Each structure stands twice: as C-alpha cells, then as structure tokens.
Structure 1
Amino acid sequence: MQIPAKPKRVVHREHEWATLAEFATRVGDSLRIAVVSGRRRHGKSFLLQALTEAMGGLYITAVQEDGVTAAKARFAQALAAHSGLPTQALRLDDWEELLRTAFRVADRPERTPLVVIDEFPYLLQHSPEIPGLLQHLYDEGQFGTPGAPRGALVLCGSALSVMHELLSGQKPLRGRVMIDMRLPAFDYREARRYWGIDDPHTAFLVHATLGGAPGYARLTDTDPPQTPDDFPAWVTRVLLSPDRATYSRAETEYLLREDPRIRQRTTYYELLTAIADGATTPTAIGAAVGKDRTVITHPLEVLETAGYVRRDQDLLKQRNPIITVPDPVIRFNQVVTLPQAPLVDLGHPDRAWQAATHAFHSKVLGPHFENLARAYTAAHLPVDLPHLPVGHTGSTEVPDPGARTQHEVDVLALAPGDLPRKPRRTITLIGEAKATATPRSLTDLQRLERIRGLLITQGHQADNAVLALYSLNGFWPDLEAHATERPDVLLIDLAALYGEGPVRGGAART
C-alpha cells in the first residue's frame, strides 16, 4: 500500500507522519505494535486521527470515567460503527474477543489493517490484563498460527509513566513494540509559525508562557499578541483568567492528574515551586521545602518520569544534576499564578501581573532564554555556520579557585564525537545567554575569556573554543565593533535565534 500524504491540516510533524505512515502501511501477515506517548495538548490524537482517516483504519478512544463494563460496550460500539452496523449490534464481553474482532473489522480488501487505541492508560485502570492479551495475539502471528491477527496497532496515551511502563522489565509488550514514539512539542521556531506571530520578541514571550504545545493555540480563543506591548493584556486574559481553559492553575492541576501516582498533590506543588524558584539539585530542593533529600527522592522521580521535571547532567562533571521545570505552563503557574492567586481570585489579573512582573522576568524569561540558546546551538547553529563543529550541547559549572566562586556556563558545546563527563574534552563553544533589558557588553566577553582560561587549566582542550554571547536585547556598539575583529567571538541576538538575522562576530566568517 502506498504511504498516504500528510494532510494539510497536520502542521509540521513531517518526521512523525512519515514514521507512523510507513509503519502502518507495511504489508505483512503478523501484528505490528507501536506506542505513541506525549504530554497532553501536543496533538497526538489529532495526528493519529488524521492517519486513521487517511488509511481507512479503526480509531477507538477510551474514556477515563468508564468502568470495565462501559469500556467494553464503548469498544464494541466503535467496532459496529466501523463495520457499518447499528452501534448496539455487537455484544462482546471478553477483551480478547473484542481485540480479535477489532483486527477483523479493520482488515478490508486492498488495505493494510490499522487499529488505534487512544487514551490506552484509561483501559489499564480497570483491565490490566490487556497488554498480556496483546502479547498473546502478537505471538500467534510470530508462530504462524492460522487466523492470527495481522496489521498495525497503535497504543496512545498522555500518562507518560504508564506508557513507558508498558515496555519495561518483564512487561508483556517488552520486545514486541517496533516504534516507541514520544511526540514532542513544536520547537520554538515551529511554534512561532503555528501561532502566526511575526515579531520574534513577541513569539519568545508567548513561547515562554505556553511553550510549543499546539493545542493551546486552539484553546485560547483569542488572537495572539503581535507586539511586546500587546503581551500583558493577552497574558492576563489567557493565563490569569479563571474562566479560561488556559488558566494556568487549572491546567497544571489537569496535567498532574494525568499521572495516577500523583495523589498528594501538595508535595508535588512544593517541589515544582522550589525548582521553578531556582533550586536545581536534590539537596537544594530538599532545603527549600524543609525536607530531607531522601524524603523527596521518590516524588522527584515521579515528576521526572511524568515529564514535569527534567534532570540534565552537567556536561563536564560527574554526579552534578541540573533539575528544572521544562514545561512553560507549569513554570508560569508556580512563579506567577500561585503567588498571586488571591488577586486573581478577586478578579484583579492586571494587578496580579504587575506584582509578578519581576519574578516573571527573572524566573521565567531568564531560564527560558537559556533553553532557547542551547536549543539553537544544538539544532540551528550547525546549519547557520557549518564550519563550526558542534557536538553534545549543555551547561556546566566551572570552579574559579582564585576568585573563590563558581561560574555558571549557560551554553557549552563539545566537539562532535566527544562524550560528556570525560577528562580532557575538546570544547568548541562557550556561551552566556542573558534575557536582561541591558545589552551585552565587553565585560561579558571578558568573563567568557576567564572561563575559557580556567577550562584550559583544568586540562580541557578549549584553546580554540568560540566565545558566544546570546542576548535578548542586543549588544553595545563597542562590543559589536570588537567582536567583528575577533575570529573567536559570536554575537547572537533574538533575530538570529529565530532565523531572521545573521549571526555576527568574526567567528561567523568562514
């Protein structure tokens, strides 16, 4: 069967569509299984519904509120509807027979059978035996059992921990799944195009609050801001309005409920707030919430596997985790909405926003700009400057014994092929990313020179490392003039990050 073209209504997702469409159209006499997971609002259902329609497949979605009897009835109704029968025509009360029937009704002439079960974790709440039954059906095809189900099965869900648990340890589906796809949010450039925001600074502000989850663009029910001056009114109307679906407090509650392990949400809120406020290690987080590190180990692991906390490793040091809140909606909620909840509840979102502006700039925009700088360096800088080698990209801390301090390095890139956290790494780029209102100056460049010297002293190969300054609000003229003459300096502003302006500095020349 020919791979169907991606419909125009499916924006971006070229790689994901090609991967799933090829999987779904491959001809064979056995069952093939794929798992698709991802945070809510990322467009999993939208993508899979489009694929199912393009292939004439069977799409079934589970409902959280259903018990086992209602879930089986809903499943049978979907089978009947796909077969062109009255919705009550099929009465099947056995999960194995329901699953076998799903592949029979999807198996039509000249079509590769495709069955999609969306919100799969909801079925597991009351029917944990389903993965074992799918293992049995899969193995029948591998053993050549006559009448074994054939075709493509996609299991989809938003509860990341549940979906990943399907393939862990001795679970029935481990080793039987061909594709394990975690659907990401749009990257910051894709998100800007999707929202239709012309101004890069405004696009950055929106991305810092809602990220790249495409579902939020439809939920806002209002035109996006087009200038930074439009942003305050937009954010109070969209994120600080309790009657909106995008109200960050309600949305965060909704997201946390996705993981069945998160029950005592007060503890998880405390941890998220501590991390959003700048605590980035288990010890610092424990101190911020007044609990021993061992007490918070399990809740942190839950947040991490659920996708609400990210644990990155220092690019150069062993056992130096950097824990952050990667989801902009949750970060905004912990930094802005929760501290100003009394004003929001009283119907004063404008006053709440004014009171939170400083925290928003320091604890939301600052970290988000650093993330964008690293994302640009890893994904786009090698395209803009092919002569500059970029391998593993991340951040690090560099001790400065002479000054009795530690230098935080926002962006660090190793040479291609070099592995992190090994001695004597070859460092190709050392960068600082600042979202302050003040342009970057020669003092910032001198700090990077100091850090490069310290890395060389520590034994790393950093003599030829490029020094990169990333700035939300530009550079002073004397720095720009100086950078032009320096073959080891890059100046990267917001226009360059969004691909609308050149990367400047002598190192940009081939």
Structure 2
Amino acid sequence: MRKPDRVLARDEEWSALTQFLGHHDDHLRLGVVSGRRRVGKSYLLRALAEASGGLYVTAVAEESVVAARRRFAGEIARYAGIGPDLLGDADWESLLTTAIDLTIRSSGPQGLLVIDELPYWMAHSPELPGLLQLLYDRSQAGQGHAGGRVIVCGSAMSVMDHLLSGAKALRGRAAIDLRLRPFDLATTARHWGVDDAATALRLHAILGGSPGYRSLANIAPPRTTAELDAWVAGTVLDPRQALFSASEAEYLLREDPKFTGSALHYSILNAVAAGATSPAKIGGLLEQGRASLTRPIEALVSAGYLRHESDPLWERRPVITIADPIIRFHNLVTVPQRDLVATEQRAQAWERARPTFTSRILGPHFEECARDWLRAHPDPAIRGHAGLVSATVVNDSKGQAKHEIDVIALDRRSGRAGVSLIGEAKATLTRRTTADLDRLDRLKDLLAQHGHDTSPTVLAVFSTEGFHPDLIATARRRGDVLLVDLPTLLGAGDPVVRP
C-alpha cells in the first residue's frame, strides 16, 4: 500500500503499519501506536485508515461514557452508510464487534479499525482493553472475527506503556508496538519550508521535531536568523499565542494523568534544566533523597520528557538531560525572563536570553544532531561498525582532569571497546581550525591509554560555521578525518572531507 504524498517521511513507520495490516493471519490482530502530543500520530493513522478503507474514530477528553458510546456509534453508522438510530444504546462490546465486522466486510481480513486517544475513553471505561482481549481470544479460538485489524493509539505515555505491561489485557496480544518519534533536523526543515541551515537548526533547537507545532504558529516560518528573532518573540515568548512555551510545557505534562498536579515532576524538570545530570545532583537541588526520586525520574523518562543514558565508557555514570526541546526552552529562557515576557517586552527578553540559548540550548542540541546524523549514516567508512553512538568523558593519565567527547562511536564486538570515531561538535561563530584535530589526537591517545582499541578511529569535526582552509587541507592529507558542516547535517550535501 503506497504512502500518500502528503505524509512527510515516516517511511519506516508506514512500512511497519502496512506490514501489520497485510499479514496473512486470518484472525483478529491488535496493534499499539503511541507518542507525545503533536508528534503526528493522528495524521499518520488517518492517512492509513483512508488508504486502506478502514474506520478511524477518536476519543474526546472529558466526555461522559454515554456521549462517548453515542459518538462511536455515529462514526460506525457513517462508515456503514446507515442511520445512527439503528445501533441504539449499544454497549462497548457490541460497538467494537460491529465496527470490526464492518471493516472486514469492506476490506476483507485486513479491515482496519483505529481508536485514537484511547486513554480518554479508558478514564471512564477501563474495561476497554479487556474487551479487546476478549475479542482477540475468541478470534484465536475460531469463535469470533475471521480477520480484522485494530490499532489503539494515545498520547498519555504512562497509560499506553501500561497497556502492554505485566499481566495487563493486551500483554502478548499486540503484534505491533510503535512509538512515533519527532522528526529529525533535516525533515523538520522540510516540514517548515526553511531552507537556511542556521535558521533550521535554531528552530529545531527551540521546538524539536514535533510536526504539529507548525499549524499552531500564527506567524510565517522564519527564513533567516534575523527573521527568527521576531518569530521567537511573537510565538514561544508571547503568552497570547498557542505556541507560548509556558502553556505548551504545562499542557504536555497535563496530558499524562501520572503527572497531573505533581509539583515534584515539575521540580525535577527544573532541576535538570538547571544543570543537574544525575539523581544525586537532582536530589541535592531539591533537598530530597535519591531513592525518593527514582520512580518519578523513570516516569519522566518513559514519557519522553527526560533522557536518561549511561556513559558508554563509564556505565555507572548516569547522564540525565531534558529530552523535549520546548520544555527545555521554557525552563532556560522563558522562566528566567518571565517578568519581561509578562510586560510585553518580549524582544528584550529574547535579547537577554540569547547567550543562554546559544550556550545551553543551541550548543548541546547541535551535539545531539551530530550524534543523530552519525547514528543514521549507513556508510561504514564514516561510522565504522559501531553499535553505539553517544557522548562520554575520558580522564587524563593522572586522573586529575576529565575531558568531554561530544561524539563517540563504539564497536563492542570484541572483548574491549573499539573506538570507531571520536568527534567535536561546535555551534560557534567561527570556523574550526587544526586545533580541534590536535585535541582529538590527544583524546585518542588517552582512550588508548585506558585500553580501548583506537587503531580504526576516525577523527570528526562537526561545525555550524565551516572549516578553516588549513584544517581542510590537513584533513585531506591525513585520510582519517571527517569534516561535517551544517548543510550536510540537513541532507544538502556530502561531508566536506571524509575518510
């Protein structure tokens, strides 16, 4: 089944969903799709239902159970071309059975029913997953539907994760568990229609890759970095706009019932935004014991608001960062400038916040974009046979100093870690020089001293402003250097120099 032209990217997701639909199994099959708000789940599933001739229904927040069943009955009636009164006041089991039967009549065993935002219905009808389990088990036993495909979807990640956990009803019954991710840097630039690489990077650093934000902006997308200044002041720093970062950050957390009204979760996010990168540091800022923070931190990680990683060379060193860009922007830019924002001095607020934005948002975001680019790159001449791409630190020979490595690619097939690549990723105002190579050579030597195999290591420099001619000449002469500029990260060309 061909993906509609209006669906940007999502090739792998579309392939997984169509494979789920087209499976030869003639019994009922269940699937789960999840992802944070505004990531494009509904858009993708609507397109899938339209392309396959399926039935798409969506739950509505804070709707009573009676109103929800009537809405479901109305959608079934429209799909079947009959009057809604024929379904009467049917219960959930009858409605589900009827909907599945109709999709099978329309499209055969691959008939599709999509239930979007299932957590809204589960708030008043927690029996729904159990009913789906019942219909599934009947079908498997040859006593129910001969075919049919049901996909349930939701944005409340704690609810969606719970569907398939432990002894829950859908555990072991869902054939697909697809979590939709935001767009990468290059796809976000295409989605917003931004051709200027520097502007696209800044836009992605502020909002991330959630495509739903574009329709919320009342101002045309910025085409240059100069236009970006006015765009920021008129959108994410304007309390009157839907894109106002404070409103969006609060909305995202309210979306998940696990975080509703929880001051502790907000405090943890504030602490991480302030620079706390471990449970111990977070506890120190909040004056709480580390043990009491374990579960709320895990919940924020599971919901996609925090990123919790282990240093690949030092597995006991946890690194916790803000994963959602709009929440990061709110905590680092909007909150410190809230007085100026509240008094409509938004341009001044952005001017004051730009040093913070550059050092604590743009710089780390560019590093992550460099790592994402390397993870996705198929050429083994560039990423080697690395199974892991991350950031790390390495101690000098005397253990008196720690040196950060922005990008490291590791191959752990052998007993010790083989270092395929180490790199610097700098979002500075100047072109990079041979000094960056000198530093990478020193880091390579330190890694070798710690027992890591550096014989295949490529030295990489990622830069937003390009490279000095001396660095380009040296890189070409050496043959073990990779130089990647910002247009390359956006898919507009090949690396300036490659091994």
Range into which the TM-score falls when normalised by the shorter chain: over 0.9
Matches within 5 A, 1:207-222: 207-222=204-219
Whether contact under 8 Å (1:137, 1:149) holds in the other structure is no
Residue 139 of structure 1 aligns with an amino acid whose one-letter code is D
Per-residue deviation, 1:387 = 8.3
| Partner Cα distance (2:74, 2:167) in 1 | 33
Aligned to 1:348: 345
**Aligned to 1:318, what secondary structure does the other structure show?**
coil
Question: Against the structure 1 CA distance between its residues 342 and 88, is the aligned structure 2 distance closer, same or farther, given a 3 Å change threshold?
Answer: farther
Is this contact kept in 1: 2:394–2:403, CA < 8 A? yes
Q: 2:466 aligns with which of 454, 459, 474?
A: 474
Partner of 1:188: 185
Displacement after TM superposition at 1:397 (Å):
1.4
Equivalences for residues 35-114 of structure 1 within 5 A: 35-111=32-108, 112-114=110-112
AA of the residue aligned to 1:402: K
* 199-208 or 294-303, which deviates more: 294-303
1:462 corresponds to 2:459: no
Q: Of 121, 127, 132, which aligns to 1:123?
A: 121
Task: Give a deviation string over 1:436-487, Cα, whole Å, max 9, x none.
Answer: 2233233332222221111111111013311111122223333333323222
> How many angstroms apart in 1 are the aligned matches of 2:295 and 2:304?
14
Q: Give the residue type in structure 2 aligned to 1:134.
A: L
CA distance in 2: counterparts of 1:9 and 1:387, whole angstroms: 32
Among 409, 413, 421, the alignment partner of 2:409 is 413
Task: Give the match for residue 272 of structure 2.
Answer: 275
- 2:437 partner amino acid: L
In the TM superposition, residue 386 of structure 1 has moved relative to its aligned partner by 5.8
**Equivalent position SS for 1:108:** helix
SS at match of 1:179: strand
2:388 maps to 1:396: no
Matched residue type, 1:57 = G
Contact 2:396/2:446 (8 A) holds in 1? yes
Aligned Cα root-mean-square deviation (Å): 2.0
Q: Whole-Å Cα distance in 2 between the matches of residues 110 and 238 of structure 1? A: 44
**In the alignment, is the contact (CA less than 8 A) between 1:27 and 1:151 conserved in 2?**
no
Counterparts of 1:175 and 1:303, CA distance in 2: 25
Deviation, 1:400, is 1.5
Q: Deviations over 1:66-107 (max 9, x none)?
A: 122222222222222222223344223422222112212323
Aligned to 1:172: 169
1:340-379 to 2 correspondences below 5 Å: 340-379=337-376
Deviation of 1:500 after TM superposition, in Å, equals: 2.6
**What amino acid sits opposite 2:435 in the alignment?**
T
Single out whichever of 365-374 and 183-192 deviates more from structure 2. 183-192
Task: Indicate the residue corresponding to 2:495 in structure 1.
Answer: 503
- 3-state SS in 1 of match to 2:84: coil
**Alpha-carbon contact 1:30-1:149 (below 8 Å) kept:** yes
Matched, 1:139 2:167: no
Amino acid paired to 1:197:
V
Hey, what's the Cα distance between the residues in 2 that align with 1:402 and 1:484?
Answer: 34
Residues 52, 112 of structure 2: 8 Å contact kept? yes
Cα distance in 2, alignment partners of residues 385 and 192 from structure 1: 27
Could you say what secondary structure the match of 1:372 adopts?
Answer: helix
Q: How many residues align?
A: 498
Give the structure 2 partner of residue 440 of structure 1: 432
**Structure 1, unaligned runs of 5 or more:** none
Return the offset for 1:304.
0.8
Q: Distance in 2 between matches of 1:263 and 1:275?
A: 19
Q: SS of the counterpart of 1:60?
A: strand
Question: For 1:289 and 1:438, how far apart are their aligned partners in 2?
Answer: 38
SS in 2 for 1:49: helix
Unpaired runs of 5+ residues, structure 2, are none
8 Å CA contact 1:278, 1:363 repeated in 2: no
Give the superposition deviation at 1:256: 0.3
* Range with greater deviation from structure 2 (369-378 or 220-229): 220-229
Report if aligned partners of 1:452, 1:463 keep a CA contact under 8 Å in 2: no
State the alpha-carbon separation in 2 of the partners of residues 287 and 440 from structure 1: 38
Match of 2:30 among 18, 23, 33: 33
1:151-201: per-residue Cα shift (whole Å, max 9, x none)? 000001111121111111111111111110011111111111111111111
Q: Report how far residue 121 of structure 1 moved.
A: 0.9
Match of 1:424 in 2: 416
Corresponding position: 1:239 with 2:236? yes
8 A Cα contact 2:60 2:68, kept in partner:
yes
Query: Would the aligned equivalents of 2:483 and 2:496 in 1 still touch at CA under 8 Å?
Result: yes
Matched residue type, 1:444: D
Bigger Cα displacement from structure 2, 340-349 vs 72-81: 72-81
Say whether the 8 Å CA contact 2:393–2:403 is kept in structure 1: yes
Measured after TM superposition, the shift of residue 388 of structure 1 is: 4.3
1:312-327 map, 5 Å: 312-327=309-324
Would the aligned equivalents of 2:53 and 2:107 in 1 still touch at CA under 8 Å? no
Aligned-pair CA distance for 1:493: 1.7
Match of 2:197?
Answer: 200
Tell me whether 150-159 or 483-492 shows the greater mean CA deviation. 483-492
Alpha-carbon distance change, 402 to 28 in structure 1, aligned in 2, over 3 angstroms: closer
Q: Give the TM-score of the pair, scaled to structure 1.
A: 0.93
- TM-score, normalised relative to structure 2: 0.95
- 1:24 paired with 2:24, answer no
1: CA distance, partners of 2:239 / 2:85? 40
CA contact (8 A) 1:92 1:98 kept: no
Cα distance per residue 1:400-451 (max 9 Å; x no partner): 2436111111100123xx26xx962111111111112233233332222221
In 1, Cα distance between equivalents of 2:202 and 2:383: 31
* Matched residue type, 2:36: R
